[in-house]
Structure 1
Amino acid sequence: MKASEIRSKDAAELGKELESLLRAQFSLRMQRATQQLSNTSQLKKVRRDIARVRTIMAENAGK
């Protein structure tokens, strides 16, 4: 997900997006722990998307 896509969303949508990303991260961690995750690069992508969303949320809170 690109930062420009995230910036176009309002606070409620960002909250929902963050929640879904955190759920996805948990699911991926459980798959990795049970040796079911074949593409481990997904973890890195989700982690970075979470960081992007949180950064945009912090920027919007400062305005």
Structure 2
Amino acid sequence: MHWTRLQKAALGFNLFLGLIILLLGLTRLISVDTTVTGILIVVLLSIVGLVRGKFWGL
């Protein structure tokens, strides 16, 4: 699979965002429910971005 620059940037941003959410959850600055929800949203956005880029050629 050929990765476009947009896909790489989006995946990098999502991983960075997920890491921030995870660190906030581990330090108890946000609740466990918020951490889990945030991680799930980041994972879903990553999957949608990759599939969309693969099938739509973005």
Match of 1:33 in 2: 26
Greater shift in the superposed pair: 43-52 or 20-29? 43-52
In structure 2, C-alpha distance between the alignment counterparts of 1:19 and 1:32, rounded to whole Å: 20
Match of 1:4 in 2: none
* Alpha-carbon shift at residue 58 of structure 1 (Å): 5.0
Match of 1:12 in 2: 5
Cα-Cα RMSD: 1.8
Match of 1:53 in 2: 49
Letter in 2 for 1:52: V
Listed as ranges, the gaps of 5+ residues in structure 2 are none
> Percent identity over the alignment?
12
Q: TM-score, normalised by structure 1?
A: 0.62
